Amino acid sequence: MKRFVDLGDFSREEVLSLLELARRLEKQPEPHALAGKLMGLVFFNPSLRTLASFQAAMARLGGNSFVINPGQGSWQLETRIGVVMDGAAAEHVREGIPVLASYCDALGIRVFAEGKDLASDLAETTFNAMASLIDKPLVNLESAVNHPCQALADWKTLDDLAVPRGGRLVLSWAYHPRALPLAVPAAALHMAALRGMEVIVLRPEGFALPAAIMERARRAAAASGGSVRETAERAEALEGADVLYVKEWGATDGYGDVAADRARRAALTAWCVREDWFAAAPECRVMHCLPVRRNTAIADEVLDGARSAVQREAYNRLPVQMAVLHQLLRS
């Protein structure tokens, strides 16, 4: 394996093999597997889990890491192509990223969607431009419309919870005061489809996931025996559901129009997950990638209750990323 940038680059069998390795490393630690190896972690956007779990994963395998937050203790890096650099950024990624890659054995990059031009975000323009500059092993730490490390941890969480392969997973939009990127919902949808699940995207009008994201998930579902559909009817979607995967994202009707998005979501504060959502799904578990705003996206009663699996998901970032690093840096 040379890169881990998209779960879609791997067959279902290859993903299952990575998960098996993650489980093996959980049970039989290999504290010297990556001795002498160094990973560079470049975060253009904030992180708690991804940052800490990658540093922990490298350390637990005997390797090391360094972290760059462009503009915070290092030069601010320009990502746009062809601009006149007379603003705050002192250096372009075209120089900065290859320099960083030359210091380490693998590089991880987090760069969120710009949230202005849907076609550009769907094409992963910024992440791919940086990826093309290096030939070292590369990990996507979350890009415009993808978060493969989260998706892999979520798949392991579903397995840990003994959720049936063909179980019903409802991916539900939830309220947030601001428009958030499509990376996690797109990755979770694709992951559940590739796992072979019955996936229902529950979202209000104006927040349908882009056709390209839905189509990709439908293709994965078709190959794995699963299904994908969408609805705005909560009761019907949740009836008998095994998992409610909660996520906040920005309006896709008028993508990038901040004022229109704000007006749309202002009427949707009731999309905060509460216990009464589960009347027809008593065994339903709740997943969220974190960070989550309590009593905004999910109520305390749900997050603190027995159906919440959010801590398990966050923990699983560590073993699955150890498996990814093992595959990237041992071969």
Contact between 150 and ligand CP by CB under 6 A: the answer reads yes
Q: What's the CA gap between 298 and 300, in Å, rounded?
A: 7
Question: Could you tell me which stretch among 43-51, 112-120, 131-139, 259-267 binds ligand CP (CB under 6 A)?
Answer: 43-51
Residue 209 DSSP symbol:
P
Contacts of 124 (CB under 8 A, 6+ apart): 143, 144, 145, 146
316 part of the interface to ligand CP, by CB under 6 A = no
DSSP 51-89: HHHHHHHHHHTT-EEEEE-TTTTSPPEE-STT----SS-
Residue 191: CB minimum distance to ligand CP, A: 13
Q: How far is the CB of 290 from ligand CP (least distance, A)?
A: 5
Instruction: Tell me which stretch binds ligand CP (CB under 6 A): 14-22, 113-121, 257-265, 288-296.
Output: 288-296
Number of residues that bind ligand CP (CB under 6 A): 9
Q: Which stretch binds ligand CP (CB under 6 A): 33-41, 48-56, 159-167, 268-276?
A: 48-56
Q: CA nearest 195: which of 236, 229, 161, 154?
A: 154
Contact between 292 and ligand CP by CB under 6 A: the answer reads no
Considering the rule CB under 6 A, would residue 290 count as an interface residue with ligand CP?
Answer: yes
Q: Is 157 in the site for ligand CP (CB under 6 A)?
A: no
Q: Does 180 bind ligand CP (CB under 6 A)?
A: no
Question: According to CB under 6 A, which one of 193, 246, 289, 323 is a site residue for ligand CP?
Answer: 289
What is the nearest approach in angstroms of ligand CP to the Cβ of residue 246? 12
CA distance 40 to 38: 7
Q: Is 50 in the site for ligand CP (CB under 6 A)?
A: yes
* 3-state secondary structure at position 282: coil
- Going by C-beta distance under 8 Å and a sequence separation of 6 or more, which residues neighbour residue 262? none
DSSP secondary structure string, 189-201? HHHHHHHT-EEEE
Residue (105 or 142) nearer to ligand CP, CB: 142
Segment lying near ligand CP (by CB under 6 A), choices 34-42, 245-253, 274-282, 289-297: 289-297
Burial zone of 230 (CB within 10 Å; 0-12 exposed, 13-18 middle, 19+ buried): middle
Query: Where does this chain bind ligand CP (CB under 6 A)?
Result: 47-50, 142, 150, 289-291
